[in-house]
Amino acid sequence: MQVRNGLSAHLSSIVSASSPAPSGVLPGGAGVTPEQLYDLVQNLPLIAAWAAGAALVLLVVAVTLRLSAPRVYWFTLGWLLLAARMRLTWRRLALNADISAIDRPVAGLFDDPRAARSRAAVPLIPVLWQIRPRAFGVTASIGMHSGQTPEAFIKAAEAMAHAWGVHAVRITPGRRGSVDLTVLRNDPLTGTGAHEDRDALAEAGRAPVAADLLAEIGRREDGQTWVIDLSTFPHWLITGATQSGKSTLINAAVAQWATRPIALVGIDCKGGMELAPHASRLSALACDRTEAADVLTGLLDEAQDRMRLCREHRVRNIWQLPDAVRPVPIVVIVDELAELYLIADRSEKEVTQRATANLLRLGQLGAALGIHLIVAGQRVGSDLGSGVTALRAQLAGRICLRVNDDETALMTFGDLHPDAVDAVQAISPHDQGVAITTADVGGWIRARSTYQDPADLDAAVAETAPLTPRLPRLDH
Ligand SMILES: Nc1ncnc2c1ncn2[C@@H]1O[C@H](COP(=O)(O)OP(=O)(O)O)[C@@H](O)[C@H]1O
Ligand SMILES: [Mg+2]
């Protein structure tokens, strides 16, 4: 009781000292008596317990939601937490990752230059705004200060990904004076991320964007992610001996393209076995030479339709078309190229010629029309005919896994990067999935594909099967 009276007296002195205003001026503060304040203080543990309980319930709900309905969690709470983290770290990040500008004091016409010099230089933090939730993460914009260019932000992308604990941050120059941020929260290749992303990206009906063409297929020896980006190199040549990892590599890419508005077409003249795991997600699958010729003819018709569409809209490629009319990109996967070129008997000559001529034509026309070739084979030597060399010239993206003969390495890299041929020959049979690949820096680099369990792949394909776009030109 003694303590209580002492405390009341103390509190009343605080209240009278801190609220000298008459009750008309501060209606809220004026009515609080020392007793009420004392009650409040006494109830604090109870209030704290309530708050802790509520927080715990919220946490349990959040965790359950995250596990059972990741998409709902993401759109209700997940993205808000990420946005908060982005905002909280933004200032420090901007200062540390060299993306802040500096406001140097300059003397105006009527200023005293000495006064200007005495003012300190202040860092100007670029403005982070328009953080919006997306299925794959968030998008945002950054307003730049004068003197800044998008390059500095592109360099800082990795630092941003680390600071925000996300898989990757992509920066693209936006409107003049700003850059656009695309924050991808998960790595589509590992753990639950693949599942969530598939969930998320399965927004059927979404207009395709150029970024959909990028597939992450492994790691490079410089630590960077190994990507096949069809908007950089529209067509790819993948060579390697049997069991060197060609199919694994293609699977890694297909598993990602399958989640997006992209049509996949398979040509596998060895009976369709190699591409069979993807069958339910393929818009067409050719299993022999005659079917291949038909599918390639259909694709060429499709290419001509698209050319007409671009002409009508006066644009030079499908990406410049309005969202509403833009056709889906088509990725044509040819496994074992040699099967398409080798003629067993004369009766197949016409079919073979039609197939290979159409393939070459697609290579020449396809890039701007969103038709891309991924051509894989053990051998791509000139012994298959002169058409192969012409086709190879169109396939600017190159990947060479372990080879048994020097000629294949030479055919894959000899024309572009002769020094890469030695590197290919140094790949040992134990290095399954290791390859030499075209790279942005230095021309070529060693890399290794991500191995995906066949069961996981089957599950992934089954899940994306409903997204398979129909290509009327390929229906028979
Ligand atoms: N990146 C990789 N990491 C680990 N193992 C791999 C990798 N790539 C391929 N392999 C192994 O090599 C085997 C053959 O690969 P595959 O892609 O079928 O070769 P190819 O299509 O060239 O004949 C696979 O079954 C797998 O065990
Ligand atoms: Mg294979």
Check pLDDT > 50 for residue 18.
Answer: no
Ligand nearest to the CA of 336: 2
Q: Is 245 in the pocket of ligand 1 (CB under 6 A)?
A: yes
- 243 is an annotated ligand-binding site residue: yes
Task: Report yes or no: 456 and 283 within 8 Å, Cβ to Cβ.
Answer: no
pLDDT band at 115 (very low <50, low <70, confident <90, very high): low
**Angle between the 349-369 and 386-394 helix axes, to the nearest 10 degrees?**
10
Determine the pLDDT at residue 205: 54
Residue nearest (by alpha carbon) to ligand 1 atom 16: 245
Q: Name the nearest CA neighbour of 202 among 254, 253, 261.
A: 261
Amino acid at 437: T
- Ligand 1 and 452: CB distance under 6 A: no
pLDDT of 476 > 80? The answer is no
Residue nearest to atom 27 of ligand 1 (CA): 432
Q: Is 364 labelled as part of a ligand binding site?
A: no
- Ligand 2 mean position, distance from CA 248 (Å): 7
CA of 220 to the centre of ligand 1 (A): 17
User: What are the helix and strand counts (H, E) for the chain?
Assistant: 17, 16
Specify the residue for token string 């709470």.
Answer: 77
Q: Which positions ≥6 away from 245 have C-beta within 8 Å?
A: 401, 402, 432, 433, 434, 435, 449
Report whether 247 belongs to an annotated binding site: yes
Q: Return the bridge partners of 7, or none.
A: none
Q: Going by CA atoms, what residue is nearest to atom 2 of ligand 1?
A: 433
Whether residue 239 contacts residue 388, with contact meaning beta carbons closer than 8 Å, is answered with: no
* Separation of alpha carbons 362 and 292, rounded Å: 13
Closest-lying ligand to the alpha carbon of 270?
Answer: 2
> Which contacts (CB < 8 Å, 24+ apart) does range 417-425 have?
417/443, 417/444, 419/444, 420/444, 424/400
Q: Is 248 in the pocket of ligand 1 (CB under 6 A)?
A: yes
Which ligand is the nearest neighbour of the Cα of 432? 1
Domains and CATH numbers, the chain: 67-103+120-185 (3.30.980.40), 210-474 (3.40.50.300)
pLDDT the model gives residue 25: 45
Q: Is the CB of 394 under 6 A from ligand 1?
A: no
Query: Rounded CA gap, 18 and 32, in Å?
Result: 12
Mutate to test the pocket of ligand 1, among 249, 268, 451 (most ligand atoms within 8 A of CB): 451
Q: By the 8 A CB rule, do 437 and 399 touch?
A: yes
* Cβ(261) – ligand 1 distance below 6 Å: no
What pLDDT score was predicted for residue 414? Answer: 86
Tell me if 378 CB under 6 Å of ligand 1: no
427 CA to centre of ligand 1 in angstroms = 14
Across 377-405, average pLDDT: 89
Taking the CA of 242 as reference, the closest ligand is 1
Is the pLDDT at 182 greater than 80? The verdict is yes
Cα 303 from chain centroid (whole Å): 26
Q: What is the pTM of this model?
A: 0.62
pLDDT for residue 384 is more than 80: yes
Identify the burial level of 179 via C-beta atoms within 10 angstroms of its C-beta, where 0-12 means exposed, 13-18 middle and 19 or more buried. buried
pLDDT at 34: 86
Q: Is the CB of 76 under 6 A from ligand 1?
A: no
377 marked ligand binding residue:
no
- Cα 242 to middle of ligand 2, angstroms: 7
pLDDT single digits (tens) 312-363: 999 999 999 998 899 999 999 999 999 888 877 777 888 889 999 999 999 9
pLDDT at 116: 63
Range with the largest mean pLDDT of 2-16, 134-148, 161-175, 292-306: 292-306
Residue nearest atom 9 of ligand 1, based on CA coordinates: 245
Residue 269 predicted with pLDDT over 70: yes
Cα angle: 141, vertex 143, 145; to 5 degrees: 155
Q: Which pLDDT does position 70 carry in this prediction?
A: 82
Number of the ligand 1 atom closest to the C-alpha atom of 240: 22
- Distance CA(255)–CA(458), nearest Å, equals 9
Residue 105 has pLDDT above 90, yes or no: no
Tell me what pLDDT residue 15 has.
Answer: 45
pLDDT classification of 190: cutoffs 50, 70, 90: very low
Scanning the structure block, which residue is given the tokens 């953080």? 131
Q: Atom 1 of ligand 1 has which residue's CA nearest to it?
A: 433
Question: Helix axis angle, 2-18 relative to 34-68, nearest 10°?
Answer: 90
Query: Residue 240 annotated as binding?
Result: yes
